[in-house]
């Protein structure tokens, strides 16, 4: 039996080696490929153009320019102004807070209001550092080459997040006005600060693994972990400021009335502003054609606090999601949404359309992957979060285009907004957070079912 097994393995190895050898590029094949490149006048002109210009300028479809207007049948009324995340990856946080800015504006009867993104960002990075160190200890018995350990050390902390990250932070740390903890240079330009925190955490992670290997007591390991977090807190406070435990705040309303100073904790401010709104009433929906629809999924360890909830979502077809989104907009409720914003993006135009560019015409090759294929190969995925605020429909009530409130500042694109066609929605929209009162019973049933756990390194995430 062992001899037969060895012979079979040898046969597989020989076949693989033969295939590898037969797959080598031969001189005849190379010559054939070279001859396929015919340098006619058009090809030569395109070679000159491409080698000297940005391809987007050459592939821009002039017939599509200015064909999409900025008018919408249904639009959220309380548009509260454009925010600016500057040089940071905090789009998910800006988007989540922007959803509730109109709520705060109505509560205080003010024309302008913004929550402090810097306040929540401080605790997001701090809590992620704590989670990383916990994960290091929990996985210390695994070899450093294991996929899980490699995943932890690849990015101990970063700016990224999704809706559940926002929920975890607000539930634990509350909210504060921007004036209480304003932006700093480091909050608006996070790369260097995060780099040094990551470097320190990797060093700390190695030390904790060694402590486990040396069979140090749980108490010693825990004490050392807390000391490490003191260092992270110091680095964050020096860059972002020390977050308040309580604060005094007043405001001037639309009628010019100046309120009295009131003292809040961040949790008290959250409770006053949100009132009866429950973050648990919001459900994340996704369109991922690589997986079955009407199923509940959870991403393993994708959270920012140890005790918080992981990323959860129900996978749905686009046409179903659109029905819920339209109802939310009609009822004056913006939504957290995210997409592959770089796909067919024309900077400054304010329009996302699959007709914006014709790259195939420039290269003379066909680009034919569908959404499922793009996800599986890593070609496309969600890269940016924005507030979904408007939809236009035709005479039959079918959506034709949609609009985002972005967080790239008021001078970006169309006064800070991005409009996208319904076909672009089908191809490049991924995540939505919608109040469950707009969902049907079939979706709510799927949401209530036990989630299937997915790994954080899945191509979709």
The 10s digit of each residue's pLDDT in 6-50 is 555 555 555 555 545 578 999 999 999 999 999 899 899 999 999
Please tell me the pTM assigned to this model: 0.92
pLDDT in tens, 247-282: 999 999 999 999 999 999 999 999 999 999 999 999
Give me the pLDDT at residue 17, please.
Answer: 53
Instruction: State yes or no: is 415 an active-site residue.
Output: no
Q: Where are the alpha helices (DSSP H) in 331-459?
A: 359-363, 371-376, 422-428, 441-448
Q: In the chain, how long is the greatest CA-to-CA distance? A: 92
Angle, CA 368 vertex, CA 365 and CA 372 arms, to 5°: 150
Comparing CA positions, the residue from 252, 247, 429, 431 lying closest to residue 354 is 429
Q: At what angle do helices 191-213 and 218-240 cross, to 10 degrees?
A: 170
Among candidate residues 304, 318, 384, 423, the one labeled active-site is 384
Name the token pair of 71: 């008018």
Task: Match 């929906």 to its residue by tokens.
Answer: 285
Residues belonging to the chain: 461
Low-confidence ranges of the chain (pLDDT < 50): 19
Give how far Cα 228 sits from Cα of 28, 151, 212, 262, Å. Answer: 61, 20, 16, 36
Do the beta carbons of residue 85 and residue 408 sit within 8 Å? yes
Angle, CA 401 vertex, CA 399 and CA 406 arms, to 5°: 130
Give me the pLDDT at residue 22, please.
Answer: 77
Among candidate residues 91, 168, 315, 339, the one labeled active-site is 91
Among candidate residues 130, 168, 287, 406, the one labeled active-site is 406
What DSSP letter does each residue of 208-231 carry, written as one string?
A: HHHHHHTT--HHHHHHHHHHHHHH
Instruction: State yes or no: is 107 an active-site residue.
Output: no
Do the beta carbons of residue 244 and residue 116 sit within 8 Å? no
Instruction: State yes or no: is 406 an active-site residue.
Output: yes
Give me the pLDDT at residue 3, please.
Answer: 54
């Amino acid at each position: 039996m062992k001899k037969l097994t060895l012979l079979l393995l040898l046969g597989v190895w020989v076949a693989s080696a033969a295939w590898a050898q037969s797959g080598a590029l031969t001189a005849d094949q190379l010559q054939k490929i070279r001859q396929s490149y015919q340098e006619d006048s058009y090809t030569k002109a395109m070679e000159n153009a491409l080698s000297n210009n940005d391809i987007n300028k050459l592939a821009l479809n002039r017939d599509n320019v200015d064909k999409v207007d900025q008018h919408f049948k249904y639009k959220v009324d309380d548009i509260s102004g454009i925010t600016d995340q500057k040089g940071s990856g905090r789009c998910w946080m800006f988007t989540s807070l922007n959803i509730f800015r109109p709520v705060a504006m109505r509560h205080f009867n003010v024309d302008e209001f913004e929550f402090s993104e810097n306040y929540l960002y401080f605790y997001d990075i701090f809590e992620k550092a704590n989670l990383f160190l916990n994960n290091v200890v929990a996985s210390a018995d695994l070899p450093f080459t294991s996929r899980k350990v490699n995943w932890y050390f690849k990015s101990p902390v970063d700016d990224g997040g999704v809706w559940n990250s926002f929920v975890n932070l607000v539930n634990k740390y509350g909210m504060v006005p921007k004036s209480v903890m304003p932006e700093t240079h480091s909050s608006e330009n996070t790369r260097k600060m995060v780099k040094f925190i990551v470097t320190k955490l990797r060093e700390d992670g190695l030390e904790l693994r060694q402590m486990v290997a040396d069979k140090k007591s749980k108490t010693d390991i825990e004490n050392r972990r807390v000391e490490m977090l003191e260092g992270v807190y110091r680095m964050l406070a020096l860059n972002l400021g020390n977050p308040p435990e309580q604060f005094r705040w007043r405001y001037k309303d639309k009628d010019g009335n100046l309120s009295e100073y009131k003292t809040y904790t961040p949790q008290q401010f959250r409770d006053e502003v949100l009132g009866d709104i429950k973050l648990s009433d919001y459900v994340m929906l996704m369109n991922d054609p690589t997986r079955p629809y009407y199923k509940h999924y959870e991403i393993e360890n994708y959270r920012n606090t140890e005790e918080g909830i992981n990323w959860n979502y129900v996978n749905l077809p686009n046409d179903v999601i659109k029905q819920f989104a339209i109802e939310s907009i009609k009822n004056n409720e913006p939504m957290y949404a995210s997409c592959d914003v770089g796909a067919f993006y024309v900077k400054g135009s304010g329009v996302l359309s699959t007709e914006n560019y014709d790259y195939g015409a420039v290269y003379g090759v066909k680009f034919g992957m569908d959404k499922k294929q793009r996800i599986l190969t890593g070609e496309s995925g969600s890269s940016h979060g924005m507030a979904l605020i408007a939809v236009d429909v035709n005479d039959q009530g079918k959506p034709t285009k949609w609009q985002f409130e972005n967080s790239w500042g008021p001078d970006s694109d169309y006064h800070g907004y991005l409009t996208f066609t319904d076909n672009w929605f089908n191809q490049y929209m991924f995540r939505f957070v919608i109040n469950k009162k707009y969902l049907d019973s079939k979706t709510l049933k799927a949401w209530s079912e036990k989630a299937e756990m997915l790994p954080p390194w899945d191509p979709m995430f």
